[in-house]
Amino acid sequence: MDGWGPSKKGSRYFADRGGEKHSTYLCAMQLLDGKKAGQAIREEIRLHVAQRLSEGKKQPHLTAILIGNNGASATYVGAKVKACEEAGILSTLLHYENDLPEQTLLEKIESLNNDPDVDGILVQLPLPKQIRESAVIHAIDPKKDVDGFHPINQGLLMQGQPGFIPATPYGIQLLLQHYKIETAGKEAVVIGRSNIVGRPMSVLLSQPGPVGNCTVTLCHSKTTDLAAHIRRADIVVAALGQPEFVNADMIKPGAVVIDVGITRVENPSKKSGFELKGDVDFATVSRLCSWITPVPGGVGPMTIAALLQNTLLACQQKDI
């Protein structure tokens, strides 16, 4: 994008694109820092847990199940366990080999469902091919479904009733609340229609509440002229799993951009041999938007914070 001048809030510049000049508004971008916001939420949870323990109440307990040796999954589960420790939540990690039979896993989940000491259960995705994701999601007790994937919890969300919200959309909601992002009356575009992120995110943004009351468009792989939909958006949530798909030509100046995607892309110059890329081209989009999440350090830490919040809630519900 040749011809860009230095970014100044409230300034108009001309970008020379293919010989044509276009007036473009450049914003003073601010980061939606998931690390800082997530740390603040974990500290609040730690104080709540400490208060529970001082009153002689039960310590929240999360049990995570990891199957196989997927490096990314192991890293993510490890981050969840560490976050539990920092927040005062008891955690148990059950790690199985990749050839674990589905029935064995379902029997273990049933055992955890019946264990009064366990408040939350999560099974790390993706699963090996012999295990059906739907069977696992249905097997977890909805009252311990702190990932918010069970159809009962998703149905409660659709009806605006209390239940466990899927951790990533819930984390995004908490992030927007933390930074006091105004959403009421805004046009929001969610890219991706998965039951884990896209669909529940569209529901949350459209519902009444402090982070809601948006007019929401849910886009997907069959959407005609996707870029035109994105350009109208005051808030963009990109959750399609394609590195740097969303670029500056698609973004309305001043938009709030939430990048959910995280993909390992080969990079021989890195010690690890790869780097992490989001669904948004941060380098160009950040010159136009008002707020944007980094990758990594944006949505990921907030997903974990939301998971811990759900675990604390699951434990608190036993007090009633």
147 labelled catalytic: yes
Confidence of residue 70 (pLDDT cuts 50, 70, 90): confident
281 labelled catalytic: no
* pLDDT tens, position by position, 180-236: 999 999 999 999 999 999 999 999 999 998 899 999 999 999 999 999 999 999 999
Catalytic residue among 80, 143, 144, 277: 80
Residue percentage of the chain with pLDDT more than 70: 91
Catalytic residue among 33, 119, 145, 147: 147
For residue 265, the model assigns a pLDDT of: 83
- Nearest residue to 284 (alpha-carbon basis) of 15, 23, 20: 15
| Structural domains in the chain plus CATH codes | 56-146 (3.40.50.10860), 168-299 (3.40.50.720)
Plot region of 291 (φ>0 → left; ψ -120 to 50 → alpha; else → beta): beta
Residues 6+ apart with CB under 8 A from 289: 27, 29, 251, 253, 254, 255, 256, 257
* pLDDT tens, position by position, 40-54: 999 999 999 999 999
Confidence of residue 26 (pLDDT cuts 50, 70, 90): low
Catalytic residue among 33, 108, 119, 124: 124
Angle subtended at Cα 269 by Cα 268 and Cα 273, rounded to the nearest 5 degrees: 45
| Lookup result for tokens 């990079």 | 267
Q: Write out the DSSP string of 48-63.
A: HHHHHHHTTPPPPEEE
259 labelled catalytic: no
